[in-house]
Amino acid sequence: MISESILTAKTLRLRPADEGDLVHFQRWLADDELRRWLGSVNEQPSIAEEYDWYMSKRQDPDTILWSIEAADGSLLGNVELRLSPLNRRAEVGIGIFDRGQWGKGYGTEAMRLVLDFAFGELKLNRVELTTDEENTRAIHSYEKCGFVREGLLREHRLVDGRPSDCVAMAVLRSDWETR
Amino acid sequence: MTVAGDVRLEGELVILRTRVDDDLPLFARWHGDPDVRHWLHMSEMPNQSLEVERQRWHIARNDPTRVSFIIETLEGVPIGNIGLIGIDAAHRRAEMGIAIGEKDHWGRGYGTDAIRVVVRFAFETLNLRRVELITDADNERGIRAYEKCGFVREGVLRAKRMRYGEPLDMLVMSVLREG
């Protein structure tokens, strides 16, 4: 589903993703390095594929998707929660797609909003993610948000045909409440 | 990645055959046993009727990222099920799940044999590189079987699932094609 909740911090806000965002996402996904860190997108999608991706997220009751935009309204990327309601957990996926905006703390700020929502509104126990072990900037950002390394998944991804290890990380409700 | 038609895989103690619609009553019975449900996500669901099993199966059987087998003894008695989900052709990995539904067949090597057969199928037929799984951290019998088949512990996922309403840690394990 597309989240109807608008979450606001000082430097950015999370708002419902809409079809107008897709052309921007699609254009940014031409960036090899961005796609490498996202892990799930091996080639730049076509507009039609990006639209299919959006519709599948919209129709999935266990996915919540937001677009991330800066305080001035410019689009930065997106973030989603994939829920397992039975187990009171979610997997989070986040991307600051506009590489001109990397390293400014937007990802960390957006993640904190999502965690507040996940533990506060959704009452989850656990939010988890998997990321490329070499993605040190992202790992540092996740650690600032309270994520802890739980395991190393050997050769979890293929990057240009080369096996790449991934780190499994999670933040628990108890970590979040005592932060 | 669909597996066309009926597959029949032979192990030393078991035969794996493609799951069919007529197997539904088996699943309803296996999943109705509290001792079997204990180790499955089903521990959190109301007891499964035939109709619920049917709905679940009708989604699963058309999912191209899954394969699902019935485990039979060499005499042709169905004793459980094993399969792969999340088959990812790009990263050449999948997640394995197994349950021996007939309790009187626990602890006799059938599961271990079935796992070996499926791992071989994953690597040799589906051309995957990594088979992973998650299991309850206190599932000692299961973990021992996985280790016999080459699975290695990669981490502990804290509060990964709920069991009888309480958070439970799970192990993540994997076996790689080489080494």
CATH number at residue A17: 3.40.630.30
Establish if B174 touches chain A: CB-CB under 8 angstroms: yes
Residue A136 to residue A142: CA distance in whole angstroms: 10
Residues A38-56: tens digit of each pLDDT: 877 778 899 999 999 999 9
- 3-class DSSP state for residue A104? coil
Res. A136: pLDDT tops 80: yes
Residue B118 to residue B132: CA distance in whole angstroms: 12
The pLDDT confidence band at residue B5, using thresholds 50, 70 and 90, is low
Rounded to the nearest angstrom, the gap between the alpha carbon of residue A147 and the centroid of all alpha carbons in its chain is 14
From the list A88, A106, A120, A111, the residue with the least C-alpha distance to A10 is A106
| CB-CB contact of A124 with B160 (8 Å) | no
Q: What is the number of domains present in chain A? A: 1
Average pLDDT over chain B, rounded to an integer: 93
The pLDDT confidence band at residue B45, using thresholds 50, 70 and 90, is confident
Interface test with B, best of A129, A158, A160 (most B CBs within 10 A): A158
| CB-CB contact of B160 with A126 (8 Å) | yes
Residue B120 to residue B124: CA distance in whole angstroms: 6
Per the structure, the complete domain to which residue A40 belongs is given by 7-128
- For residue A46, give both structure tokens: 């076509």
Mean pLDDT of B16-26: 94
pLDDT of residue B2: 47
φ/ψ of residue A109, rounded to 5? -65, -45
pLDDT of residue B3: 52
The pLDDT confidence band at residue B178, using thresholds 50, 70 and 90, is confident
What is the percent of chain B where pLDDT is above 70?
A: 97
Residue A37 lies in a domain: yes
Map out the domains of chain B with their CATH numbers. 8-129 (3.40.630.30)
Q: Do B45 and A86 touch (CB under 8 A)?
A: yes
Kindly report the pTM of this predicted structure: 0.92
Establish if A24 touches chain B: CB-CB under 8 angstroms: no
Mean pLDDT of B82-108: 96
pLDDT of residue A101: 93
The size of chain A, in residues, is 179
Mean pLDDT of B158-178: 96
Q: Which of B41, B91, B155 sits opposite A168 (nearest CB)?
A: B155
- The Cα-based distances of B12 to B72, B100, B101 in angstroms read 11, 16, 19
pLDDT of residue A177: 87
Res. B74: pLDDT tops 50: yes
Residue A116 to residue A173: CA distance in whole angstroms: 10
Res. B4: pLDDT tops 60: no
Residue A123 lies in a domain: yes
Residue A177 lies in a domain: no
The H-or-E segment that residue B118 falls in is: helix B110-120
- The Cα-based distances of B153 to A104, A147, A153, B158 in angstroms read 36, 20, 9, 14
Residue A32 lies in a domain: yes
Residue A162 lies in a domain: no
Residue A118 to residue B167: CA distance in whole angstroms: 16
Residue B10 to residue A59: CA distance in whole angstroms: 40
The pLDDT confidence band at residue B1, using thresholds 50, 70 and 90, is very low
Residue A80 lies in a domain: yes
- 3-class DSSP state for residue A115? helix
Mean pLDDT of B64-92: 96
Interface test with B, best of A36, A38, A86, A133 (most B CBs within 10 A): A86
| CB-CB contact of A146 with A135 (8 Å) | no
From the list B2, B31, B29, the residue with the least C-alpha distance to B18 is B2
Q: Where are the beta strands (DSSP E) in chain A?
A: 7-8, 12-16, 63-70, 75-84, 89-96, 126-132, 148-159, 162-172
Residue A142 lies in a domain: no
Residue A165 lies in a domain: no
Residues A87-110: tens digit of each pLDDT: 999 999 999 999 999 999 999 999
CA dihedral B173, A111, A47, B65 (to 10 degrees): 20
Mean pLDDT of A77-90: 96
Residue B172 to residue A178: CA distance in whole angstroms: 26
Rounded to the nearest angstrom, the gap between the alpha carbon of residue B20 and the centroid of all alpha carbons in its chain is 16
Residue A122 to residue A109: CA distance in whole angstroms: 19
Residues B96-113: tens digit of each pLDDT: 999 999 999 999 999 999
